[in-house]
Amino acid sequence: MNDESPITGHTWLSRIFHSDFVQGVAITFANRGLLIALGMISSVIVARGLGPEARGDWAYISTLIGLVGQFSLLGLQSANVLYASQEPDTVPALLGNSLATSLALGSVSFLGIAAYDGLLKGSGLSWYVLLCIYATVCVQTCSYLFQNLLLGMHKIRSYNLTEFISQLVGVGATVLLFVTHRLSVDWLLSIGVAAAALCVVTAAAAILRTNKTLPRTDWGTFQKCLRYGWRVYLACVAAFFLARGELFLLEGQISAHDMGQYAVAYGVFSMATVLPSIIGTLLFPKLSVMDGEARWEGLLRTVWLSLPLLLAVTMLLWLAAPIVVNLLYGKAYKESVIPFRILVLSLPAAGMCSLFSNYLATWLFPAGLLAAYALLACGKAVVLAQPWTHALPTLALLNLSVTCIQLICIMVAALVRSRAERAAAIH
């Protein structure tokens, strides 16, 4: 391997200054810094413009969109990165399949979400909201798949640019509605659809500039991607539920005020997970083209480089929590300070989960890990059904505990896979 790999630099300085992986992380982190600033502006405006009750309603709807979006991906996001990196000739087929899959599965997901809300939850979402959710799921799924193609093609700058443009437009529209006193959940949904559509257009343009072949659908490529992606798909859905399940399972069981407070706490915590998410996202295409031993060494090197930084960020955010929440969101959200402080303690564990998960994604996800995720998700749902868990600090403690257990499961699975690779290499 050359010194562009995150694991093969002979010195710390050569790895930091000459590795395209480290440079990609730096560029993406700088871009995400801008996105965090834009997201913080949007979050503050939404929280202040809607108030705690309507903010709780928006948390429920946005969580539904995220969960259904995970169901619509089928693990193809990881397959796009893997095969665009390993087999560049498949990019036109991956592009066409991504578009077709987004439309088909978005439609199926819409029927599921309408049935879930109407028959099970009975929260009475209007048809306009349901249609916006449908459009958002289709377009966001497509944009996510296209962006992962850019990652697999190692077009990091184009990947960052598409994200930044769509986010900037979305925040700009939100600010305009806030200033004109027209901010509402319906308008936020409309903005989300428009911003995701813009991301699709810019990502597709970047892909076609590099690969001149027109997109096409290919059943064989889709089957190959699906065989790889279905375990990743199940793992992503389970991980999403483990992280945010309380935001929709408790809809109607706790007040909209408390839901809004917890949503703000979790939203700020989610922004803190950007750094490990970036590292894991860019690490995946690098690891996917390495052999087994090099992958494990690359993972460990990245873990030891990332962990001290995550611990420092955790300490800083824990200390600054009252200032951050009160300054940005105002006194109306002071109840979110304690749950945020508890949630942020799980940042190092969440970061390690991201890194080890991307390592495991370079193969098929182990069936045993999927079974452990399922048991953990069921356990969380059972605990959330108990009324004593509905206090905000208790919800945050539950989330912290689940993240730590999840990390233990992932680390065991990664260690078993690494030892199996070493044994196979010896024989």
Per DSSP, the residues of 153-176 read: TT-HHHHHHHHHHHHHHHHHHHHH
254-267 pLDDT, tens digit per residue, is 887 888 888 888 88
Q: Kindly tell me if the per-residue pLDDT of 53 is higher than 80.
A: no
- Among the ranges given (121-125, 195-199, 223-227, 366-370), the one the predictor scored with the smallest mean pLDDT: 121-125
pLDDT confidence of residue 14: 54
CB of 204 within 8 A of CB of 146?
yes
Gap between the Cα atoms of 278 and 29, Å rounded: 7
Q: Where are the domains of the chain?
A: 12-426
Q: Distance (Å, rounded) from C-alpha 42 to C-alpha 36?
A: 10
Q: How far apart are CA 155 and CA 197, in angstroms?
A: 20
Report yes or no: 251 and 57 within 8 Å, Cβ to Cβ: no
The residues that bridge with 373 in the sheet, in sequence order, are none
The two most distant CA atoms of the chain are separated, in Å, by 70
State pLDDT tens for residues 158-169: 888 888 888 888
pTM: 0.69
In angstroms and rounded to an integer, the radius of gyration of the C-alpha atoms of the chain is: 21
pLDDT top residue among 148 and 118 = 148
Query: What mean pLDDT do residues 204-233 have?
Result: 86
Taking alpha carbons only, the member of 406, 400, 294 closest to residue 357 is 406
| pLDDT(111) > 80 | no
Structure tokens at 344: 């942020």
What is the average per-residue pLDDT within 54-59? 75
Q: Which amino acid is at 150?
A: L
**Which of 79, 82, 303, 47 shows the shortest CA–CA distance to 185?**
47
**Residue 43 to residue 329: CA distance in whole angstroms:** 9
pLDDT tens-place string over residues 364-417: 778 888 899 889 988 988 888 888 888 889 999 999 999 999 999 999 999 998
Closest by CA position to 377, among listed 284, 238, 186: 238
Number of H helices and number of E strands within the chain?
Answer: 16, 0
d(CA 229, CA 237): 12
Which of 223-237, 267-281, 312-326 is predicted most confidently?
312-326
Residues 39 and 168 sit within 8 Å (Cβ to Cβ): no
